[in-house]
Amino acid sequence: MAPFCTAGKVHVGLDESFHLGKCPRCSADVERRGLAAHFAGHARQLHQLAAGMGLRMGLWADMLALLPAAIPLLPRDVVAYDWYYYPFGRHPRVELRNFAEVDLAPLLQKRGIEYWGCPMNGAFRHEPVPAFSDRLANILSWWKRCHRVGAAGFLITSWEANRLAIEITTAVDAAAACLWLDPAVDDPREMLARGFARVFGPKKAVRIAPSADASPKSRGSGAPRRSEDKLSHLTEARRWAQAALAGDKSAFAGYHRWQINDRWDVCAGREDVATYEDEARELARLLRSLSNGQSAFCRVSPLALRASLAFRLYLARRDVFVRRNAQAVFSYGGCSLTL
């Protein structure tokens, strides 16, 4: 793997070590040195391997919140990547400590270890579209914290994207880029609009939007009027962002939505079907809105966004079907289904 580490770094993970210290082969070492020294010793072994290949080692910081005594035992030139993927106030939280607030920056910086903040751009397990408002709020939380504590870096992560259109998470990255490209722009709606504009144009959009009243001769090779086109493109991108954020109102997120993927019967009678019928109607409306723009650019509203919302619409209609017929199964002994 070393040849692919073109930045001169290798990230060894070490996060969410649920079974740390429980391995029978490690029990004697844990008993002799303690859990913190055992963890640090393993990290030092990995550091030695990485250094031998000319690579600087990075690791996730969440286990250091559980084992702060390990921090003074770590090599000083490692990089600690602190992560938390929800919006927060002054300090991030640690899931393995029941979401308690933890500030690791002072201890790591005292040791001379680089501290980085890490938000997320995508979605959690089974989610087909990011909850855009949460993602942007998480990014803003980390950006403010990194400035406040003097972090060495800021890294946007991406997880479990197998159900996502990769262009959508890239648009979230491009929205985050406002923080250093357009620092005066910190409104999440405008950030997302500019993210869509960066990823889906203007070059991709302007190629279909030459001046309608220009003659072939005046147009020369058919090049569009770029200043007007860029303005129109940003206007359309704001519509795309509005549609994306509107989908957050009924986000397909959380275990109560994911359970249907494994067991339909847990959905029976738990919630009113009308909630999901409303969701399906709203998603259908959002899809129609992406086809009703006021300029030529509506013809190139992002396929990735349309496809993502269309998948969301399918899931909402599936929820309606499953919940309605689950009620029928349990009410009538499975003798009838309504389609």
Q: What was the pLDDT predicted at 69?
A: 97
Taking residues 26-37, what's their average pLDDT? Answer: 94
The model carries a pTM of 0.86
**E strands present in 84-209:** 93-94, 100-101, 114-118, 153-154
Q: What was the pLDDT predicted at 149?
A: 97
Rounded to a whole number, what is the distance in angstroms from the first to the last CA of the chain? Answer: 52
Q: What was the pLDDT predicted at 221?
A: 47
Q: What was the pLDDT predicted at 232?
A: 79
Copy the structure tokens of residue 238.
């704001």
In sequence order, the 6+-apart residues with CB closer than 8 A to the CB of 68 are 36, 104, 107
Q: How confident is the model at residue 332 (pLDDT cuts 50, 70, 90)?
A: low
Query: 84: alpha, beta or left, given left = phi > 0 and alpha = psi -120 to 50?
Result: beta
Taking residues 155-170, what's their average pLDDT? Answer: 87
Mean pLDDT of the chain: 86
Q: How many CB atoms lie within 10 A of CB 88?
A: 18
Give per-residue burial for 305-334: e unless 16+ CB within 10 Å, then b. Answer: bbebbbbbbebbbebbbbbbbbebeeeeee
Radius of gyration over every alpha carbon of the chain, rounded to an integer in angstroms: 25
Q: How confident is the model at residue 265 (pLDDT cuts 50, 70, 90)?
A: confident
Q: What was the pLDDT predicted at 220?
A: 46
Residue recorded with tokens 């927060």: 88
Query: CA nearest 83: which of 108, 51, 119, 38?
Result: 119
CA distance 20 to 42: 11
